[in-house]
A and B are shown apart, each in its own frame.
With several copies, the nearest count.
Chain A
Amino acid sequence: MKLTEDMLVMKNEEIAPGIYELVLKGENVRLMKEAGQFVNIQLEGKGLVLRRPFSICEINLPEKEFKVIYRVQGEGTGYLAGIEAGERLNVFGPLGRGFPEPALKEGETALLIGGGIGTPPLYELARRLHGRGNKVITVLGFQDKDGVFYEGEFSQFSEVHVATMDGSYGYKGNVLELIGHLQLDFDVLYACGPMAMLKAIQEAYAKEKRGYISLEERMACGIGACYGCVCDKGGELPYQKRVCKEGPVFALNEVIL
């Protein structure tokens, strides 16, 4: 069995300005075990060579479907936005290690922190934690009102708070300020978003809380063979870890950002 598959595009629609929801169907969906893993999608656009990594946002095993939410960022995602339902995309994955759910014990509360396009991988996680009976609080940060997405979706499984940088929707400020403002209490945190946000979270909570963060790095192979995507884990030489293989999810205190 191959880990690459030409999957059928069921849906590819804009859900917020420049943000698309992509649903793919294929046999390899049954290999998708953990929230927070990613897939590497091949794009046929002119001159494009590398696959593009995207987090798995939602897994629908019975339908053999999974969802990706992506932001149009450059040439690859621009090309992807033009794909229509009925076409096929070659998907390599699932890849990497996701969020460890059992990190959360019975009765414990999870805080999910998503910044912008870092939100999607937390969605499958929210669903699962909720399903396991844990309390889930989600704090989402966006630039402005227009950029907000998935607030409603997350609220199916969690208490949701939204912050926007310009205050045009929800709390005015960043996610950390909102968490402070609400004095949210939690046991384990799970975060994904821009590097600046992850750094601030690490600084604020690495000492006192358990937590997991999902990293991004420019990738080539996606499976640990090229050493393109390393991050710093400190300690003895060679101290780097591969985001695609040992990650993209790392414990809050095990990486140096």
Chain B
Amino acid sequence: MIDLSVKLPGLQLKNPVIPASGCFGFGEEFAELYDLNQLGAITIKAATLEPRTGNPTPRIAETYGGILNAIGLQNPGVEAIIREKLPWLEQFDLPVIANVAGDTVEEYVEVSRRLAENKVIKALELNISCPNVEKGGMAFGTDAETAAELTAEVKKAAGKPVYVKLSPNVTDIVRIARAVEEAGADGLSMINTLLGMRIDLKTGKTILANGTGGLSGPAIKPVAIRMIYQVYKEVKIPIIGMGGIQDARDVLEFLYAGASAVGIGTANFINPYVCPDIIRDLPGVLAEHGFSSIREAIGFAHR
């Protein structure tokens, strides 16, 4: 018997497979396709204090082996999420991670506080790495001091474990990871999207109305693996790894690099059943490589 379970701060996971924020809405659409109880957990779409309309369309462009998105944190606002989305999620036996965004430290703190009060939410994920908004977003994630301060403030206000989602668009990811660890983060999520752009040859304009967007999908996997590998060496808190995962073998590579669990984003758009497919395939892939539990594979490349 292969043991797929993983225990992380605030999260008792049946398996390490977690749909990534922004790629799974609030679960409703995928619940029409399969039983969400199969999943390790789910990360819901970024919440802000007020409702947001996000960026103008086009918001999606394709690149070689990846996609660019510039959704711009569209969401109905934290109150509507608590009122309309969380009660629905309560029916599942599924830890819910709330992704939090904002323009100011105060907004992050307030949104985190309100979400943490809700019993459906088991952990917070601070999105300090969204490349698609003018204020806040990535700015918090590219400077170690700012990231640490934000983490500390949220930790003070919210009584639930806090995962900080790191931006890959930085010179020194280890520095930022260390800073938020010291500031009290319970875990890290990495990586968010790389900042990219495509230009339409016919119009001469950027394909995304927003100009730049976040690059995700298989193209970015080697960058994610590298960053997780580097950070794992230097921090003690667990890492939820993501960036280009497509199948159970990719999951194993992330575990080797140092992830304790994984986020699946873009792959949900390619194969809507990718999460249950990976969960089905994981035991076989682990066994094939001589492991009998997820735990044994975590950080294996460092041994």
Contacts and interface: CB of A to CB of B under 8 A. Distances in A.
Interface in B168-201: none
A238 B57 contact: no
A50 interface: yes
Contacts of B218: 47, 49
Contact of A239 (B53, B60, B269): B53
Nearest to B27: A225
Interface string A46-73: 1111110000000000000000000000
Given A47-B65, A225-B29, A226-B25, A219 B60 contact: yes
A227 B21 CA distance: 12
Contact of A4 (B60, B61, B271): B271
Contact of B75 (A226, A231, A238, A239): A238
Contact of B74 (A224, A227, A231): A227
A217 B57 contact: yes
Contact of B59 (A3, A51, A218, A225): A218
A181 interface: no
A217 B71 CA distance: 13
Contacts of A217: 57-58
A90 B96 CA distance: 31
Interface in B41-55: 45, 50-54
A64 B58 CA distance: 34
Nearest to B23: A226
Nearest to A3: B33
Contacts of A229: 57, 59-60
Contacts of B58: 217-218
Interface in B22-81: 22-25, 28-30, 32-33, 45, 50-54, 57-67, 69, 71, 74-77
B268 A238 contact: no
B66 A228 contact: no
A238 B51 contact: yes
B16 interface: no
A30 interface: no
Given A51-B270, A92-B272, A238-B76, A224 B29 contact: yes
A138 B169 CA distance: 52
Contacts of B69: 220, 226, 228
A50 B53 contact: no
A240 B53 contact: yes
A221 interface: yes
B71 to A, nearest CB: 5
B266 interface: yes
A178 to B, nearest CB: 27
A47 B64 contact: yes
Contact of A226 (B61, B64, B71, B76): B71
Given A220-B60, A230-B57, A238-B53, A4 B273 contact: yes
A42 interface: yes
Nearest to B65: A47
Q: Which 9 A-B pairs have the closest CB atoms?
A: A47-B64, A225-B25, A228-B60, A218-B58, A218-B60, A225-B29, A223-B29, A237-B51, A220-B269
17 contacts: A2-B33, A2-B273, A218-B207, A221-B29, A225-B29, A225-B268, A226-B69, A226-B269, A227-B22, A230-B57, A230-B74, A231-B57, A237-B50, A238-B53, A238-B75, A238-B77, A239-B53
Interface of B: 22-25, 28-30, 32-33, 45, 50-54, 57-67, 69, 71, 74-77, 207, 217-218, 266, 268-273
Given A221-B272, A224-B25, A226-B25, 7 more contacts: A4-B272, A42-B270, A218-B59, A221-B268, A222-B269, A225-B30, A227-B25
